[in-house]
Amino acid sequence: MELLYETPSNKLDAYITKYLLPSKEFQENVQDAVHRICSFLKERCSMDARVIKTVKGGSAGKGTTLDDNSDADLVIFLSCFSSYQDQAQKRASVISIIEQNLFRCHRSLAFKVDILPPQVKGEGRRSLSLTMQSRKKKEAVEVDILPAFDVLGQITLSYKPPPKVYIALIQAGGKPGEFNTSFTELQRNFVKHCPAKVKSLLRLVKHWYKECKKALREVHPSVSLPPKFALELLTIYAWEEGTGREEQFSTAEGFCTVMNLLVQYKMLCIYWTEYYSLEEPTIGAHVKEHLKGQRPVIMDPADPTANVARGKGWDRLSMEALICLTMPCCKKGSEPVTSWNVQPAKKFAEDQNWCVLL
């Protein structure tokens, strides 16, 4: 963190270029790992289901990978899932079958595969985590395989799901965000098609988050922090509200705006309507319950059941953000860098004040 904090605010773009952008070799290694596991799942994995499609999520899919640090999520949409309930009931057994196939075939594969211990949280196993290494390269890539129900089918860049998709999701009664893998393409596209400058800002915020996490866990190994996706969405919100979606802006101003919003985390109330409408009664009522709930609230733009800001550790990030704002990276000479005028709570069109809960 010292190197970032010691960087003058007018040098942040150069810092991103020098330290955070992934090398071409690293990107190719990630692509190769994902391609190989996709081929294995489609051609050599024996199970009573057909792979309908595969979607690359995570930083690798969104185009915001940090150098030497990839979290490639590979979502596989399977024919054996005909509903959200099907996914919940069969997901763990499908993961076990894929795991068994990998154990059986790994010696004949063109890459080394290590299967990481499962992390089960309450509702059962949701993913299979692998470390993959090409026989010819030293660098390893971590890939999470997530089986999912294909509720969207083939989509386009301008695709907006019909309301019945989200009504069925809400009526399925799963835990908040339990079935968000079905909407991975929408989550990915929401970030992927942001301007390059925004992706650079996202990398800077993610790097700051990663360094915070590393430092905190050296002192408190079991410390919990909010999901990284929450900070990605917070960064996009800051850019949208602060610049009116301009493609060119000051990286330092954007970074300081995100830090200032983190300081105000107890007031955060953010949502989008790119993929679902609050005017549809079932969806609108469900989302508004989240928005009226305890702060912080950052709604998943692709999943109206998920407040991605749920979780512990916001106070720790807030304290670190306060420290960051006093460092050269957030200063212009002896004065603070000017932040954009962004409110922590987004106003709701029908009532300009209801979402602002002070």
Tokens 């154990």 -> residue: 103
Tell me whether strands 297-298 and 269-270 are parallel, antiparallel or unpaired. parallel
- Sorted by where each begins, the domain ranges of the chain are 2-150, 189-336
Q: Which CATH class is domain 189-336?
A: mainly alpha
Phi-psi region of 351 (alpha: psi -120 to 50; beta: other; left: phi over 0): beta
The total of other beta-carbon atoms located within 10 Å of residue 164's CB is: 11
Neighbour tally for 312: CB within 10 Å: 10
Which pLDDT score is estimated for 352?
43
Confidence (pTM): 0.92
Please say whether the dihedral angle defined by the alpha carbons of residues 95, 184, 78 and 175, taken in this order, is positive or negative.
positive
333 Rama class: left (phi>0) / alpha (psi -120 to 50) / beta? left
User: pLDDT per position in the chain (358 positions), as tens?
Assistant: 569 999 999 999 999 999 999 888 878 878 888 888 888 888 888 888 899 999 998 888 999 988 766 667 899 999 999 999 999 999 999 999 998 888 777 666 666 777 877 765 555 678 898 887 765 566 677 889 999 999 999 998 889 999 999 999 999 998 999 999 999 999 999 999 999 999 999 999 999 999 999 988 888 888 889 999 999 999 999 999 999 999 999 999 999 999 999 999 999 999 999 999 999 999 999 999 999 999 999 999 999 999 999 888 999 999 999 999 999 999 999 999 999 999 999 876 545 444 544 3
Cβ–Cβ < 8 Å for 132, 119: no
Strands 297-298 and 331-332, bridge-based pairing: unpaired
Residues making up the chain, counted from first to last: 358
Percentages of the chain per state (helix, strand, coil), in multiples of 5: 45, 15, 40
Q: Does domain 2-150 have CATH number 3.40.50.2300?
A: no
Select from 9, 14, 62 the least CA-distant residue to 190: 62
Contact 354, 267 (CB under 8 A): no
The DSSP 8-state label assigned to residue 351 in this structure reads B
As a whole number of angstroms, the distance between CA 118 and CA 120 comes to 6
CB neighbour class for 102 (10 Å; exposed up to 12, middle 13-18, buried from 19): buried
Burial class (CB in 10 A: 0-12, 13-18, 19+), 224: exposed
Residue 354: predicted pLDDT: 46
